[in-house]
Amino acid sequence: MKFFKIAVSLFRMKKWSGGMVIIGLAAILVLSYGLMGTQPQKKQSAYDFFRNHPANDSHSKDTGRLSPSHMDIKKATKSSIRPHFVNVEGLNDLYASNNISKEESKALLVWSQMRLLLSRSDALPETAQGIKEASVAWKDLLSMIEEDKTMKSSKIDKPEDKTCPYSLSTINRTTSSNGTILEIPCGLVEDSSITVVGIPDGHNGSFQIALEGSKLLEDQNPPIILHYKVRLPGDNMTEEAFIVQNTWTNEHGWGKEERCHAHGSARNTKPKVDGLVLCNEQIVRSTGEENLNTSHASGDVLANVSQGGAHATANFPFAEGNPFTATLWVGSEGFHMTVNGRHETSFAFREKLEPWEVSRVKVDGVLDVLSLLAKELPVSEDHDLVVDVELLKAPAVKRKRIAMLVGVFSTGNNFERRMALRRSWMQYEAVRSGDVAVRFFIGLHKNGQVNYELWKEAQAYGDVQLMPFVDYYSLISLKTVAICIMGTKILPAKYIMKTDDDAFVRIDEVITSLKGKASSSLLYGLISFESSPHRDKESKWYISNEEWPHSSYPPWAHGPGYIISRDIAKFIAEGHRRRDLKLFKLEDVAMGIWIEQFKNSGQKVQYTSDERFYNAGCEANYILAHYQSPRLVLCLWEKLQKEHQPNCCE
C-alpha cells in the first residue's frame, strides 16, 4: 500500500517524465528484493541424490528444479507443444533413498541425472515397460547388496554364490508332463548354443523347442523369445511337413509366424539373417531324382525315407524314428538352427525379445529327448581371483577436462566381451594415463544373478555406468543421451566417442586423426549421407511415418563407432533437458537428426567420413573393427603389440 501511495503522488507531479523514471527504478528495486531469496541450488553428487531424494517426490517438484539461468539454446525445430512430464510406474522406486555408499554410487553418476528424461510424455514406446521391469530388478539387487553387507559385517560365512555357468546339460534338466526343461540362469549371448539330441516317436505329430523369458508377477505366462515347432511328415511322408518359428508375449500374443515347408520353393527372396537364408532350400524331387541328390542331405535322414510318396523329399531334417542332433545358436542378428550339421532355418530377433532375456529352454511333444546341452553361456570372472585387476581398473581422472570420453554400449551378461576390451585396447597409454576415459553404459537385466554379477564388476573396475531401465534395444538412444550428459557434466571431455562392446578401437589412431580435425561442430566416423527409413514392418530398423514422416534421413554416422565434439554433446544434453529435442529409437540416426537441428540453429557442422571405421568386420589399416568376438579382440591387440601393424586376425 505504501508503494501504491507513492506512485499516486508521483503521478500528480507536473513533471510526468521524471515521475515515471522514479516509478521504474522503484519497481526494479522491489522485484530485486523479492528475488534475493532465490539462491542457486548446490550441485548434487549421485550419492547425495539417492540420499536426499524421497520416493514420493512428485514430478512437478522435479520440473521446478529446471533453472532458467542455463544458457538458452537456439532451436532449429521447435514443437508447438512441448512434451510434459508424466508419472511412470516404477520410476519412484528407481530413485528412492537407499543404503548405497558414496563409493558404490560412482556406478550411478549418470543414473541420477536421467529421471526427467524418463518422465517425458513423448518417451520411446518401450520406456514404460523398461522402467517397470527395471524397478523390480533394482529392488531385488538392493536386497542382494544389503544381504551381502550384513553377512560381511556380522562375519557370517556366506553361502556359495550362485554363478553364471559356461555350460549346462541334461543333468540340470527337469522333466515333467510339460516336457523337458533346462534352466538358463544368466541368459544367452552371441555364439551361445542349445543342442538337442532326440528321436521323434510319433508320426503325423509335432514337437516344440521354446526359449522362454522371465515373467513378471502379474503375468500369467512367460514371454517366448523363440517358439520352434516341427510338424512331422505322415505315413509314407504324404502329409505335409513343415517348421514354424514365432514369438509370444502377454501384451500382443502370437507374432507373425515364419513357416518353412518341406517342399517349398527353392527361391528365397526374404532378407537374410547374419548372411543365412530364413529357410534352407527345400526341393521337390521325384523318386528318380532322389538318388541324384543324396549328397545334399544327411545320411541318417535318408536311411529311413520312403521312396514312394508323391511329395517325398529327403531334405526335410526330421522323421519318425530317426535320431537327430539339432543345434540352435545365437548370431548377431538372430537365431539359427543347424540339424545334423546342415543349416536349416534362421529367425531374426524381434523387438523386446532378445537372447539375453532367455531364462529356460523347454522341449515337449512327440520327441524322446536323449540329451539337452547349453554351452558358450555368459560367464562372469571371479574378480577376487583376477591377478591383474589393478591394471584393469579405470585410472583416476585428475584433469578438469579430458581429451575424450569413450562410451561403450554393452548388455548386462556380456561379461566376456567387457573383459576382452579391458585387456586389449583399454590398455592404450592414452587410456591408462587418464587422458581418455572409457565407460560401459549398461541397462539393468531382468535376471537378478546377472545384475548382482554386474554390480560386483562395476565395483571392481570402476568403469561401469548403470542405466535406470531394462536394456531393450529399442531404448538404446537413451544411452546416447547418457554419454552426452557424462561427457559434458560429469567427465567433461573435448570429444565424446560412442562404440559397442564387440568393436576394437585403435585409440592411438583416433587421437592422432582428431589432431587434424575441427575441435568444434564435428561428427567423425563412417557417415551415411543418403539413406531412407525402413518401412518394412518386419525389419529390425522399421520406422513408421509417425516416427519419421520424411523420405530420407539427414547425414548420420554408423553406430559401431563415431566421435562428436563437446559443443554438439552439450547441445544434445541441454536440448533433452529442456525437452526441445525429439527422441528417436535408432541411436545412430537419432544422433544425425539432433546434429541436423544443431546445424539449423546457426552452426556449421563438419561432417568428416572415414572408411577406416569398418561397420561390419575388419580390414587392414582399420581404425575400428566391428563384430569382433572376445577371442578376435584379444588377437587384434596381440598383433598390434607384436607386428605394430593394424592387420586383421581373420
Parse the chain into domains and list their residue ranges.
Answer: 126-146+400-533+552-643, 168-281+318-375
Does residue 434 have a pLDDT over 60?
yes
Q: How far apart are CA 507 and CA 100, in angstroms?
A: 34
How would residue 386 be classed by pLDDT, with cut points 50, 70 and 90?
Answer: confident
Q: Which three cell numbers stand for residue 556?
A: 548420420
DSSP string covering 474-485, please? Answer: GGHHHHHHHHHH
Mean pLDDT, residues 67-83: 46
Grid cell for residue 265: 520353393
Task: Tell me which residue of 566, 581, 521 sits closest to 73, measured CA to CA.
Answer: 581
Residue 292's pLDDT is 32
What are the E-state strand segments in 544-610?
556-565, 606-609
In this prediction, residues 28-52 reach a mean pLDDT of: 43
d(CA 14, CA 19): 9
- Which pLDDT belongs to residue 3? 44
572 has a pLDDT exceeding 60: yes
Q: For the residues 278-285, what does the mean pLDDT come to?
A: 62
Reported as a pLDDT band with limits 50, 70 and 90, residue 215 is confident
Q: What is the pLDDT of residue 201?
A: 86
Q: CA dist 244 to 81, 209, 227, 228, 333, Å?
A: 46, 11, 8, 6, 19
Question: Does residue 358 have a pLDDT over 80?
Answer: yes
For residue 41, give the amino acid letter.
Q
Q: What pLDDT shows up at residue 8?
A: 39
CATH for the stretch 168-281+318-375: 2.60.120.200
| 296/284 Cα distance (integer angstroms) | 13
Average pLDDT of the segment spanning 581-608: 96
Q: What is the mean pLDDT of residues 405-431?
A: 97
Cβ neighbour number for residue 108 with a 10 Å cutoff:
23
Task: Assess whether pLDDT exceeds 70 at residue 90.
Answer: yes
Q: What percent of the chain has pLDDT over 90?
A: 63
Q: What is the mean pLDDT of residues 541-559?
A: 93
What pLDDT was estimated at residue 246? 95
What number is the average pLDDT over the span 208-234? 88
String of DSSP letters for 310-348: TT--TT-S--TT--EEEEEEE-SSEEEEEETTEEEEEEE
| Site of grid cell 566417442 | 497
Give the count of alpha carbons within 13 A of 449, CB side only. Answer: 17
562/106 Cα distance (integer angstroms)? 26
Sheet holding 522-528, edge to edge: 464-470, 436-444, 402-410, 493-500, 556-565, 522-528, 606-609
**11: exposed, middle or buried (C-beta count within 10 Å: 0-12, 13-18, 19+)?**
exposed
Terminal alpha carbon distance of the chain: 85
Q: What is the mean pLDDT of residues 312-318?
A: 69
User: Strand 504-505 vs strand 522-528: parallel, antiparallel, or unpaired?
Assistant: unpaired
Alpha-carbon gap, residue 284 to 142, rounded angstroms: 59
Q: How confident is the model at residue 63 (pLDDT cuts 50, 70, 90)?
A: very low
Over the range 472-499, which residues count as b (16 or more CB within 10 Å of their CB) and which as e?
bbbbbbbbbbbbbbbbbbbbbbbbbbbb
Residue 75 scores a pLDDT above 80:
no
Cα 177 vs. chain centroid, distance in angstroms?
36
Cβ(287)–Cβ(312) below 8 Å: yes
Reduced to 3 states, what is the DSSP secondary structure of residue 326? strand
- Tell me what the mean pLDDT of segment 451-474 comes to: 95
d(CA 525, CA 595): 14
C-alpha cell at 375: 554351452
Across the strands, what pairs with 470? Answer: 444
Please determine, for residue 632, whether its predicted confidence score (pLDDT) is greater than 70: yes
CB distance 467 to 442 below 8 Å: yes
Query: What is the predicted pLDDT for the residue at 26?
Result: 45
**Model confidence at 536, in pLDDT bands (50, 70, 90)?**
confident
pLDDT of residue 162 exceeding 70, the answer is: no
C-alpha cell at 414: 556380456
Average predicted confidence (pLDDT) for the chain? 82
CATH fold group of domain 126-146+400-533+552-643? Spore Coat Polysaccharide Biosynthesis Protein SpsA; Chain A (3.90.550)
Judged by DSSP in three states, 65 sits in coil
